[in-house]
Amino acid sequence: MNEPRLVSVSRRCDGVSAEALLASARGRERFYWNQDDLVYVGIGVAAEITAWGERRFAAIEEKARTLFSGVRVLGGAEPMALPRLFGGFSFQPDFITEHTWAQFAPAYFVLPHYQLFRRGETAWLTLNVQIAADELLDEGALRAALDAECALAQQSTSSPIVPAAPLSSDYPMSLDEWTGLIESARSSMKAGALNKVVLARVCELRFAERVNVEGALDYLNDAYSGCYRFLFEPIPHLAFFGATPELLVRTSGKTVETMALAGSIRRGGTLAEDEALGASLLADPKERHEHALVVEGIRDRLTSLTTMLDIPSEPGVLRLRNIQHLHTAICGSLKAPCGVVPLAEALHPTPALGGSPRADALEFIRQREPVPRGWYAAPIGWIDSHLDGAFVVAIRSAVCQNERVWLYAGAGIVADSQPQKEWEETALKFSPMLNALGAGPDVLA
């Protein structure tokens, strides 16, 4: 039996607001990616691929390769407007489909039916369809459909949305339970079983009506413009979204980019205090040790795959709206182009979100964390038709089901970590998404 063929047609569609287009598609499958001046919006589903288990990365790469192998692109198009898959992976391979993540497979990617690409004032709209192998291609009909959709997109408008405050908030883990979890981790470190482990806790919000995701994204676009903003909504009103500062991996041919992001402190109320806090972060032995473990973990995983790896000897400070992080940008040249998915598999999770040694840290998380992570702290991003792409680490994120939202925040634990300080750090990391969802500081715990 012959497989369907993928057909893609694009056209310029300037004058479109990506955010207005996203808002106009409420109630449909939606996908969003905003990185600096590079914005994608996906609407509808032309194709989807899923995978389970230990081979979920390899299976997704194989299915993506098959999907794109016979793609027919009609006419010329901006390369960034060519079809691409949007999606992500679960944190752990043995995915637990409890109620929070019941609709999310361990690996789940969607090729949108319509895909808008915008950079600056230039925009391209792409229509992706699958047709039967023996079906005649009606290019005129496809272009007419694309023209009509472009006209609608150019007319779409949106107005500022003030998020409604939640009815209630709940933190399933108490400070005492958190302290016990950290003390257990420290005991494992003193016994030599772990060097570092990243532990997370959860906040649940309940609203009177369905969560307005695009309103939350509007806030994140304004307040966290230096982060990667994303939305994966494969089923209407079941969405995973956030604004993460952390790039896992980006590839283009033989070029690979990643980063180490570990070690945190709050922002200051004045410029002088802010600079003093940043300097204290750079001088803090515990934070520097935590960061160094991440750098070395990335180095170990990429050295055998690259001919050159540029890793600065000292970290810098990445300043976000409410928090500062130790940050090391890393780039390299691959021995051979391999696409983005194998590198995402090699790097996930870095010690910034899992721990060190990796296998032992993951087992500790699996056994001790009371709430499954689902897609939190896992790779989310896109794959293009050349199998290059970008994945970020899905932190500062939330998953929503209609009127309910679950937020996640984690902290890196090393031998001299203090439970109260780590509790306060996770509260700081909850803030971006709480604010985006209309919850004030009074719901922090």
Is 190 assigned a catalytic role?
no
* Contacts of residue 427, Cβ cutoff 8 Å, sequence gap at least 6: 409, 444, 445
Q: Beta strand pairing status for 30-35 and 122-131?
A: unpaired
Query: How far, rounded to the nearest angstrom, does the alpha carbon of residue 223 sit from its chain's CA centroid?
Result: 17
Residue 79's Cβ-count burial label (10 Å; 0-12, 13-18, 19+) is exposed
C-alpha 271/C-alpha 155 separation (Å) is: 43
C-alpha 150/C-alpha 123 separation (Å) is: 10
* Contacts of residue 148, Cβ cutoff 8 Å, sequence gap at least 6: none
Pair of tokens at residue 147 = 């023209």
Q: Beta strand pairing status for 72-74 and 5-12?
A: parallel
Pair of tokens at residue 249 = 């991996």
- SS3 for 113? coil
Is 429 assigned a catalytic role?
no
C-alpha 41/C-alpha 232 separation (Å) is: 10
Query: Among 246, 287, 290, 369, which one carries the catalytic annotation?
Result: 246
Would you say 263 and 291 are in contact if contact means Cβ atoms under 8 Å apart?
Answer: yes
C-alpha 49/C-alpha 153 separation (Å) is: 27
C-alpha 9/C-alpha 46 separation (Å) is: 13
C-alpha 262/C-alpha 260 separation (Å) is: 6
Pair of tokens at residue 269 = 């109320």
Q: Beta strand pairing status for 5-12 and 379-384?
A: unpaired
Query: Among 196, 214, 287, 422, which one carries the catalytic annotation?
Result: 196
134-141 LR contacts (CB < 8 Å, sep 24+): 134/2, 137/7, 137/72, 139/9, 139/74
Catalytic residues: 196, 246
